[in-house]
Amino acid sequence: MSSPAEVPIPPDLIRRYSGTSPGRAWLGSLPGLVCGRLEHWQLEVDLGPGQLPWNGHGGMVVPVLRAGTPAALKVAYPHDEAKVERHALRLWDGHGAVRLLESDAGTCSMLLERLDAAHSLQDVPLETAVPVWGSLLRELSLTPDSRPEWQEFEHVAVRAERWSDDLPADWEQLGRPFPRWLLEAALEVCQTRGAVGRRAGTDVLVNTDFHYLNILSRPEGVAEGSADGFAAIDPQPMIGEAEFAVAPLLWNRIKDLPRSAPERGLLDRCRDFSQAAGLDAEVARQWSLAREVENALWSASRPGHGGDLARSLWVASTLAGRTLADLPAARDLPAPGEAAGLASS
């Protein structure tokens, strides 16, 4: 067992946050934050010799014991999604998502049920992943009620309306990094779904980062293919149309698309996952197109993300029905963050 002073910071997290003053300040405070939560929640670090804590894009997760029971201490960089994660987990209460045991807003820390970090939906065949994801999505799609946590989430339609202004401005500023017709396809989605989504009365709690690696196995294990054996993590929650959640399934595991017709395979994947969750596949396609155009502009603005840009453009243009030429073949596109040496998301 490690003592609090020996909890190492994963090198991946150091690389990601050492480039800015706020990031360096957070890294410097991280040992103290971890130590404080260990003491306050009476936790024992459960790391073997030389073992690193787990980490994702925005935080560190330390395996711990609480009165002998396995749990996980998550300390996140205080970004917008991390600040509202605990509210969503409290609403889900362990149904379809990792169970929240304790939280502390001031340190952006949570004590969570311990899941099996070595086994995610990334590891199972897609034909198994489809019904599992669909069942979990149904379970997570709560309808808003009077509980105060609902006031904390941004609405998907509000974000879409903001994209209507931001995407054209970013496209121009970045030197028009892809054809205008693809930008206009995304803007059409923002203009229709942004307005319609706000009026439709179909609002649910949306896990906007609901991809394969963010769905972990529960350690007790259940029959293969059962959603009961899996739980979502890192939800980046919002309110809006549930179809907004489909996009990360399309920009991950691209290498699993059929080599003979990957474009058709991508559309089939959108359809299959949508049907499994009781969603409208056409609405899912539209939202996924808009989200990938936004991702493409993000990648275009950052050096070293050319692979991510190419992947986003391939997915977005394929969803729009006109796959751009001069892009790598689908099987050669990097996984999210792979080209920049970051964790997949």
Catalytic residues: 209
Token pair for 246: 């489909």
Distance CA 285, CA 316 (A): 9
CA 311/CA 257 separation, integer angstroms: 13
Of 340, 90, 107, 127, nearest in space to 235 by CA: 90
Q: Of the candidates 207, 84, 89, 232, which has an alpha carbon nearest to the alpha carbon of residue 151?
A: 84
3-state SS class at 51 = coil
**Which helix (H) or strand (E) is 22 found in, with range?**
helix 21-40
Q: Is 155 helix (H, G, I), strand (E, B) or coil?
A: strand
CA-to-CA distance for 152 and 236, rounded, in angstroms?
12
Question: Would you list the DSSP string of 215-284?
Answer: EEE-TT--STT-GGGEEE----EEEE-GGGGSHHHHHS-GGGS-SS-HHHHHHHHHHHHHHHTT--HHHH
Cα separation, 30 vs 8, whole angstroms: 10
